[in-house]
């Protein structure tokens, strides 16, 4: 079976060092197995998006010669697909409307406890939740080994469509990965926690499970993920090689001295050839000073 991997950025800001690490890790993992590497734009949440970011992210990937296979898929063009699946679940009573606010859930304990499961509510001002009858509390990660997830989170009937009408990340990511034939998900370790929920959806859909590899997350000195919120700088488009080398070192590569005089294609080809999981650090977070760099 052909390996199909993907990089799935959310266009909430420019591509920063942390997202380059995720892009490169998924690229090396796919290309070292002669697989396809897809790019999917996760533009599900317009209020959190930055105008122009999707285009800028793609231009940045091009500047780093990270050429994707096939066409870029935009989640904003796939609402019908998500809605159809939700309607199927609603009609089978596998999903249901919920009127609880975040505040109410918090007041009743930290997690949602199925308060609206049997209320037969209708769409008015409600979110939609999926019924989780068989929580997934563990999975195997290719680097981390067996991961055990908090059972309260795994057991929660989680939201698949928000009260404001936006589709939930967990729903869209699973529907798309299945539909695009993705065989392995490689992404940042901040997404370890929702993996159990995503596996639950694969099970409900009767789909073949995928493999998971979670990469160390680049964090600032105070432990925060690089993100738009903490002003992670976009990476340089005009001078990509130094950043590329930094990101490869972050992924555990020990680069030969001559690499400094190589061009991008040669560096990437060297990376594809030498990529192996033993070199990848097992830590789920690594501090980087990169966020302070001016692009
Ligand atoms: N869109 C998500 C993000 O940018 C990644 C989703 C995934 O790789 O599963 O954090």
When comparing pLDDT for 61 and 229, which is higher? 61
CA–CA distance, 284 with 218 (Å, rounded to integer): 9
- Rounded to the nearest whole angstrom, what is the distance from the C-alpha of residue 205 to the centroid of ligand 1? 21
> Residue 291: is its pLDDT beyond 60?
no
Identify the CA nearest to 7 among candidates 52, 67, 63, 50.
Answer: 67
How far away, in angstroms, is 226 Cα from ligand 1 center?
A: 14
What is the position in ligand 1's atom list of the atom closest to the CA of 177?
A: 9
- Checking if the pLDDT of 290 tops 80, the result is no
23 lines ligand 1 (CB under 6 A): no
Q: For residues 254 and 245, what is the distance between their CA atoms, to the nearest angstrom?
A: 10
CATH numeric code, 79-170 = 3.40.50.620
Q: Is there a shared CATH topology between the 4-77+178-287 domain and the 79-170 domain?
A: yes
- Of residues 140 and 288, more confidence is placed in 140
Q: In angstroms, what is the span from residue 44 Cα to ligand 1's centroid?
A: 11
User: What integer pLDDT is reported at residue 295 of this predicted model?
Assistant: 38
Tell me what percent of the residues of the chain surpass a pLDDT of 70.
96
Per-residue model confidence as pLDDT tens digits over 117-166 = 999 999 999 999 999 999 999 999 999 999 999 998 899 999 999 999 99
Please report which confidence band the pLDDT of residue 293 belongs to, taking 50, 70 and 90 as the band edges: very low
Q: What confidence tier does 225 reach under pLDDT thresholds 50, 70, 90?
A: confident
pLDDT of amino acid 190: 93
**Are residues 195 and 263 in contact, defined by beta-carbon separation less than 8 angstroms?**
no
Whether residue 292 has pLDDT greater than 50? no
For the chain, give every domain's residue range: 4-77+178-287, 79-170
State the pLDDT confidence band at 219, using cuts at 50, 70 and 90. confident
Distance from the CA of 5 to the center of ligand 1, in angstroms? 13
Inform me whether the pLDDT recorded for 5 exceeds 70: yes
Cβ of 191 below 6 Å from ligand 1: yes
Per cent of the chain over pLDDT 90 is 85
Mean pLDDT of 70-82: 98
Q: Establish whether residue 8 lines the binding site of ligand 1, counting it when its CB lies within 6 angstroms of any ligand atom.
A: yes
The residue to mutate among 15, 191, 215, having the most atoms of ligand 1 within 8 angstroms of its beta carbon, is 191
**pLDDT of 98 over the 90 cut:** yes
Residue 289 has pLDDT above 80, yes or no: no
What's the pLDDT at 229?
Answer: 65
Please work out whether the CB of residue 199 comes within 6 Å of at least one atom of ligand 1. Answer: no
Pairing of strands 4-7, 127-130: unpaired
Closest C-alpha among 19, 2, 221, 205 to residue 10? 19
What band does 222 get if pLDDT is binned at 50, 70 and 90? Answer: confident
**Nearest residue (CA) to ligand 1, atom 6:** 8
Report the 3 state secondary structure along the chain: CCCEEEECCCCCCCCEHHHHHHHHHHHHHHHCCCCEEEEEECCCCHHHCCCCHHHHHHHHHHHCCCCCCCCCEEHHHCHHHHHHHHHHHHHCCCEEEECCCHHHHHHCCCCCCCCCCCCCCCCCCCEEEECCCCCCCEEEECCCEEEECCHHHHHCCCEEECCCCCECHHHHHHHHHHHCCCCEEEEEHHHCCCHHHHHHHHHHHCCCCCEEEEECEEECCCCCECCCCCCCCECCCCCHHHHHHHHHHHCCCCCCHHHHHCCHHHHHHHHHHHCCCCCCCCCCEEECCHHHCCC
Q: In this predicted structure, what is the pLDDT of residue 294?
A: 37
97 known member of a binding site: no
If one looks up domain 4-77+178-287 in CATH, what number appears? 3.40.50.620
**pLDDT, tens digit (0-9, with 9 covering 90-100), for 228-286:** 666 678 899 999 999 999 999 999 999 999 998 999 999 999 999 999 999 999 989 88
Q: Across all residues in the chain, what is the average pLDDT?
A: 93
Look up the pTM and report it.
Answer: 0.94
């Amino acid at each position: 079976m052909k390996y199909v991997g993907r990089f799935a950025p959310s266009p909430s800001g420019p591509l920063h060092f942390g997202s380059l690490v995720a892009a490169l890790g998924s690229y090396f993992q796919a290309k070292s197995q002669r697989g396809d590497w897809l790019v999917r734009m996760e533009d599900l949440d317009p209020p959190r998006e930055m105008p122009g970011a999707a285009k800028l992210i793609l231009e940045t990937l091009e500047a780093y010669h990270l050429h994707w296979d096939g066409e870029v898929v935009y989640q904003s063009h796939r609402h019908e697909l998500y809605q159809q699946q939700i309607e199927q679940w609603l009609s089978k009573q596998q999903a249901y409307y919920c009127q609880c606010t975040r505040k109410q859930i918090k007041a009743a304990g930290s997690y949602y406890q199925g308060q609206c499961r049997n209320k037969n509510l209708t769409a008015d001002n409600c979110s939609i939740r999926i019924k989780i009858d068989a929580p997934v509390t563990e999975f195997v990660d290719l680097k981390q080994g067996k991961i055990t997830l908090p059972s309260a989170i795994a057991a929660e009937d989680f939201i698949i469509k928000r009260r404001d009408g936006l589709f939930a990340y967990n729903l869209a990511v699973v529907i798309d990965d299945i539909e695009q034939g993705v065989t392995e998900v490689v992404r940042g370790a901040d997404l370890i926690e929702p993996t159990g929920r995503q596996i639950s959806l694969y099970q409900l859909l009767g789909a073949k499970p995928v493999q998971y590899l979670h990469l160390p997350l680049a964090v600032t000195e105070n432990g925060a993920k690089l993100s738009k919120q903490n002003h992670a700088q976009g990476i340089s488009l005009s001078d990509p090689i130094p950043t590329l080398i930094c990101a490869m070192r972050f992924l555990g590569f020990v680069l030969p001295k001559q690499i400094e005089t190589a061009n991008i294609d040669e560096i990437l080809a060297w990376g594809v050839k030498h990529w192996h999981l033993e070199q990848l650090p097992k830590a789920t977070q690594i501090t980087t000073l990169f966020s302070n760099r001016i692009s």
